[in-house]
Amino acid sequence: MNTPESQTTQHIERLNSPAFSRLGLPFSEIVRMGDTLYLSGQMGTLPGTLTLAPGGMQAQAQQTMENIKSTLEAHGYSMDHIVKCTVMLADMKDWPAFNEIYKRFFTAPYPARSAFGANGLAMGGQLEIDVIASARR
């Protein structure tokens, strides 16, 4: 989907919604290359801001998943297009609680996924998730 906020270079399309563009961040919201979408890491920030959702890991996990969903939908895709998630948790003890929230956004068969503990996530966040999705509609 080409929008005024997208840029295409040699079969690589950079997609940025107007709300994302207003944040002025030094990366693209989504990069499309062929039939593959690469979403930049999503965190539990409140929509249109760089403020983390209050309430700790569970609130941030819920907001992160909502952000992934709304980012895909802003460009004409859905959660069903996701093929791989990479999850970075500030504390691996939060793994079971994260899984409960994660399962609310998918049905079996689930996307492929990897996860690891990370020290020092941006903005002091509790988690970050990056996503690879299919661009086929």
Question: Which pLDDT score, from 0 to 100, does residue 88 have?
Answer: 97
For the cut 50, the answer to whether the pLDDT of residue 31 exceeds it is yes
pLDDT at residue 4 above 50?
no
Q: Where are the domains of the chain?
A: 7-134
Does residue 25 carry a pLDDT above 90? no
CATH number of the domain at 7-134, please? 3.30.1330.40
Q: How confident is the model at residue 137 (pLDDT cuts 50, 70, 90)?
A: confident
Residue 53 near residue 59, CB atoms below 8 Å: yes
> What pTM, to 2 d.p., does this model score?
0.87
Cα–Cα distance for residue pair 110/117, rounded to 1 Å: 21
Strand, helix or coil for residue 30: strand
Q: How confident is the model at residue 87 (pLDDT cuts 50, 70, 90)?
A: very high
Share of the chain above pLDDT 90, in %: 71
